[in-house]
Amino acid sequence: MTAASIPTVGLGFCWQALPAGRRFKTVGRTVFESDIVNFINCTGQQEVIFNNVEFIQHHSAMKARVAPGALVFAYAEGLLVQSTMQGTGFAFLHMELDIKAPVLVGDTIHVECEVLECRESKSRPGLGLVRTRNEIKNQRGEVVQVVTPLRLVKGHHSE
């Protein structure tokens, strides 16, 4: 058996496999202190709500280390990419983001995804437009963010 004839596991869904109404969820991922530190240093989000323990303890509404909303969204994207879009995700076109609740150090998030719309692209034959509603939930099942992205996804016969 040659390497080319061995099937690859972990590949993403083609748009034809994502009919409206299909639902699935990802595995979970815990947010650690080091994740927040690395993210705020990488992005330059040097706000006292993220990097000043005295401010957090005495002036913050939550009195705990909160993760930036962009970090939570980025982790949710990573959970989805590694499980549903490897090799099939073509372009991220648009999204709406609604932050519902904070994510704190030690929280474990996962994504519950529902396909809202799926159709072949008129301008890019062989590719499909897929819009989903992604609810990012914590370990208690509370919705912390809702994201509704529109993606261009490869089909079964795309090159």
Cβ-proximal residues to 35 (8 Å cutoff; 6+ apart), any chain: 67, 71, 75
Cα angle 74, 77, 80; round to 5: 155
Q: What is the pLDDT of residues 105-146, one digit of tens each?
A: 999 999 999 999 999 999 999 999 999 999 999 999 999 999
Give me the pLDDT at residue 159, please.
46
Under CATH, which number does the domain 12-154 receive? 3.10.129.10
| Cα distance between residue 76 and residue 44, in whole Å | 20
| Cα distance between residue 114 and residue 148, in whole Å | 10
pTM of structure: 0.91
Q: What is the pLDDT of residues 44-67, one digit of tens each?
A: 999 999 988 999 999 998 889 999
| Cα distance between residue 88 and residue 15, in whole Å | 8
Q: Tell me the three state secondary structure of residue 41.
A: helix
